[in-house]
Structures are given as structure tokens and as C-alpha cells.
Amino acid sequence: MSQKVLLNHKEVTIILHRLACQLIENHLDFKNTILIGIQPRGTQLATRLKEILETEYQIKNIALGFLDITFFRDDFRRGEKSLEANKTKIDFLVEDKKVIFIDDVLYTGRSINAALSAIQSFGRPSEVELLVLIDRRFSRHLPIQPDYRGRQVDAINNEKVVVKWKETSGEDSVELITI
């Protein structure tokens, strides 16, 4: 097994600020926009982006929720190990709101497909966008593309992209691990 650092702390910080600026360009005051972190790994990115938008760019009252997609996945009963559900925390309606799904890595597109189904339980959004830190562009099983991407990575199937956050791993970084 080998590993290669794709992004270090400084590069992750730059990308997060660039993504925040792109969101501001398209959503200004976020009055009609909701950020939804996809459980489990998109929640840290969503939380971090909200924090940057509020502290660095003084945008207040950004709605942030977390969406568990476990039981909406098309591979829910296919694996040998049983999946464990996470918590959904959406304490607002998404009816006629602009929803931005946030996840760390876009791989096959199946998680986003599940999120599109799951969000319907909270209302019908007027628009849905996708923000990812890493886009593994040659691995898609479904025709899903991000509206905002931090970095595009060309990884083959025996390679895994691992995103580390300082809150959980002690550092911000993205690594490519060959299995």
C-alpha cells in the first residue's frame, strides 16, 4: 500500500476559500439557499464552509443541515457488512429553496443520487447544486457532475481518495492511497 499527498493544509485552506467565494458569487446573501452536508463525510466540509462564509465574509443566518442517505442508497442491501445510519439534522423546510449538496469526494455519483431521493422528504427544492472537495471524474456510474469542485483527481479503481480534517484527524489534507 502506498500513499501520496494530493493536498496539504495550505492547499485545502485555499480551496475552501475559493469555494466559499464561488458560492457567494452565485448566492449572495444565502437568503433562499440551504447548505446540506451529506452524511457522514460531507458534514465536516459543509460545517467548515459555513464557518468561512460567516467569519471571513460576514454572511449571517446560513441554513445548514445534515442528510443521511443510508436507506436511500441503491446498494443498501448488497454488501456483506450492514450499513449504519447517521443522523439527519434538517430543522427547516427545503420547499422552493436552493439546496447545495456538499460532499467530500464525488466518485460514482450513487451517493448524490440517493441524496436527491432523500431530500424529497423535506420538500421540493427550487434548485439543487453540488459542491465537492474532490471530483474523481473517470469513476462515474451515473450522469452526475459537480457545480463546484475543489480539485479534480484522476484515480483508478484500486486507488482511494482520503480526506482528513483537523477536527477529526489533526490535520487538513487529501491523500491518494493505492491498495
pLDDT in tens, 99-134: 999 999 999 999 999 999 999 999 999 999 999 999
* Mean of per-residue pLDDT scores for the chain: 92
Please give the Cα distance from 50 to 55 (Å, whole number).
Answer: 9
pTM tops 0.85? yes
CA-atom Rg of the chain in angstroms: 16
Please give the Cα distance from 99 to 76 (Å, whole number).
Answer: 24
**Cell numbers linked to 98:** 436552493
Please give the Cα distance from 37 to 67 (Å, whole number).
Answer: 6
Please report the pLDDT score of residue 76 as a whole number.
54
**Cell numbers linked to 40:** 457522514
Measured in whole angstroms, how far is the alpha carbon of residue 158 from the centre of its chain?
22
Please report the pLDDT score of residue 79 as a whole number.
57
- Nearest alpha carbon to residue 15 among 139, 177, 173: 173
Longest dimension (CA), the chain: 47
Arithmetic mean of pLDDT, 172-178: 95
Provide the CB-side half-sphere exposure for 11 (13 A, CA).
13
